[in-house]
Amino acid sequence: MANDVVIYTSNTCAYCRTTKQYLDKKDVNYEEINVDEQPDRRQELVEMSGQMAVPVVVITSDDGMRDVTVGFNVPKLASSLGL
């Protein structure tokens, strides 16, 4: 099963860097949306997570189900990605 993975980040977020390193290590392809560099996308972040905190990882499965992980949460990410 393929997943569409999007990670919302900011320039100064250490947990964002750690989350991207984790995804890279697991060979997970993802789209990064940096809300510092793309401020017009901040509203998406709030709609997905209900807050402005980053990182937020949104995983959409082939069947359209969406899973949102706020923060660097390895067990939840691994489960959501089927790792």
Position 32 scores a pLDDT of: 96
Position 1 scores a pLDDT of: 43
Each residue of 9-26: pLDDT tens digit?
999 999 999 999 999 999
Give the confidence band of 82 by pLDDT, cuts at 50, 70, 90: confident
What domains, with CATH codes, occur in the chain?
A: 3-81 (3.40.30.10)
Residue by residue, DSSP assigns the chain as --EEEEEEE-TT-HHHHHHHHHHHHTT---EEEETTT-GGGHHHHHHHHSSS-S-EEEEEETTS-EEEEES--HHHHHHHHT-
Each residue of 39-59: pLDDT tens digit?
999 998 898 888 889 999 999
Confidence (pTM): 0.90
